[in-house]
A and B are shown apart, each in its own frame.
Chain A
């Protein structure tokens, strides 16, 4: 399932994360030119697409699943992608995004907003804001995931090792030094 121009249809998605994984992706530097020759970026925070398209070959997902919008997009991207990759520790483990899980949801909102300097919508009235899930989840606990790129953020070398394998239609098999959570 490739584009009519023979390129792999690639998407990147930003769920509950800090965008650091996408920054690290941009740090591929000149390899981005190689990538652009072989893949077409059909959906991404850095591409102008409003709706996740059909018929995507590879989707990299940054961030944990933290609210109902994330759940909806996760199901949509899973249904429309051949290969889904958990991209970075938040997607893989929940990581920093899931640090709030040890507190109750009300306590989190109270601590961050209601005891803070400003007011913020709760998200449970009229769906002004996405409603937070009771617990932040790693992506694979919401939809099936085909490959994992750990790291916070993953070094560009890890990203390239995984993406290069996927472009060649091979499974992602990172060496030990590229498999650590965190570092």
Chain B
């Protein structure tokens, strides 16, 4: 049985199902809230912190993607403080690795690039770290470029939850964290990878891309996750 709750969203009274997350409700209301680690159809990670919102009574901003709605909740999505925090997050991401948009395969089609533009990140206030990172081009069809990875783990989740292979995982801690294939063996040697390419398509940046693509040539297809989930759960196969 569906329980309905009522909450206040940016001053408006809104009804929602009790099993929804705040992000679901905010998106239903056509409020533009940026996300990078969220992907419809995958489990939530709550890691990128772009979807932080102000919940009255809460001691700190809450990530909307992992916050369930509750009766009487009072939520604000676009206060100056929240916008400031979102810009900080994007600037830190841009400073952490080598996101050189001008020479990226997804230049013009990148979630991070557009998040920065939408949030008004005109420049990065932090020192760029310029880490010396590797690429893995051992796979026959795809390339992993750690320089452009933001550790959103969409690749890890789609591989585990949709493809069922769990080739991808995370190794290391803090700034040394890396996505890995199998037990950190080269992607091309992975016995578990089915070469389905789902990870490449859900990757928000140029960290995973198809071999042969050069600057700005690659666009990514994200809708397929929804098609597969709908097919599996509702037996409605449309695309």
On whether A96 and B103 interact (CB within 8 A), knowing A101-B130, A102-B130, A183-B216, the answer reads yes
Contact residue among B108, B120, B122, B130 (Cβ-Cβ distance under 8 Å from A182): B108
State whether B102 touches A89 (Cβ < 8 A): yes
Contact residue among B98, B101, B118, B131 (Cβ-Cβ distance under 8 Å from A181): B101
Stretch binding the partner chain, chosen from A4-12, A27-35, A40-48, A144-152: A144-152
- Hey, which chain A residues are within 8 Å of B100, CB to CB? 93, 95-96, 98-99, 182
State whether B98 touches A102 (Cβ < 8 A): yes
Which of chain A's residues has its CB closest to B107's CB? A182
Name the interface residues of A97-149: CB closer than 8 Å to any CB of B.
98-99, 101-103, 135, 138, 140-141, 145, 147-148
- Hey, which chain B residues are within 8 Å of A180, CB to CB? 101, 108, 113-114, 116-117
- Hey, which chain A residues are within 8 Å of B131, CB to CB? 102
Binary CB contact string for chain A from 153 to 183 against chain B (1 if under 8 A, 0 otherwise):
0000000000000000000000011011111
Give complex CA distance A145, B19 in Å.
48
Which of chain B's residues has its CB closest to A178's CB? B117
**Residue A94 is within 8 A (CB to CB) of chain B in the complex:** yes
**Residue B104 is within 8 A (CB to CB) of chain A in the complex:** yes
What's the dominant secondary structure at chain B's contact region? loop
State whether B124 touches A138 (Cβ < 8 A): yes
State whether B98 touches A141 (Cβ < 8 A): no
How far apart are A14's CB and chain B's nearest CB, in angstroms? Answer: 17
State whether B102 touches A182 (Cβ < 8 A): yes
Give complex CA distance A147, B123 in Å.
9
**Residue B28 is within 8 A (CB to CB) of chain A in the complex:** no
- Hey, which chain B residues are within 8 Å of A177, CB to CB? 117
**Residue A39 is within 8 A (CB to CB) of chain B in the complex:** no
Which of chain A's residues has its CB closest to B132's CB? A102
Q: Interface size of A by Cβ–Cβ distance < 8 Å?
A: 28
State whether B108 touches A98 (Cβ < 8 A): no
How far apart are B213's CB and chain A's nearest CB, in angstroms? Answer: 15
**Residue A81 is within 8 A (CB to CB) of chain B in the complex:** no
Name the interface residues of B97-139: CB closer than 8 Å to any CB of A.
98-104, 107-108, 113-114, 116-118, 120, 122-124, 127-128, 130-133
Give complex CA distance A93, B86 in Å.
19
**Residue A92 is within 8 A (CB to CB) of chain B in the complex:** yes
State whether A182 touches B132 (Cβ < 8 A): no
Give complex CA distance A141, B94 in Å.
15
State whether A95 touches B102 (Cβ < 8 A): yes
Binary CB contact string for chain B from 196 to 224 against chain A (1 if under 8 A, 0 otherwise):
00000000000000000000100000000
A residues with CB within 8 A of B? 86, 89, 92-96, 98-99, 101-103, 135, 138, 140-141, 145, 147-148, 150, 152, 176-177, 179-183
B residues with CB within 8 A of A? 94, 98-104, 107-108, 113-114, 116-118, 120, 122-124, 127-128, 130-133, 216
Known interface pairs A102-B131, A152-B102, A183-B108; 13 further A-B residue pairs with C-beta atoms within 8 A, sorted by A's residue number: A89-B101, A92-B122, A95-B102, A99-B98, A99-B100, A102-B98, A102-B132, A103-B132, A148-B123, A180-B113, A180-B116, A182-B104, A183-B101
A-B contact pairs, 13 of them (CB 8 A): A92-B123, A94-B128, A98-B130, A99-B100, A101-B130, A135-B130, A147-B122, A176-B118, A179-B116, A181-B116, A182-B113, A183-B113, A183-B216
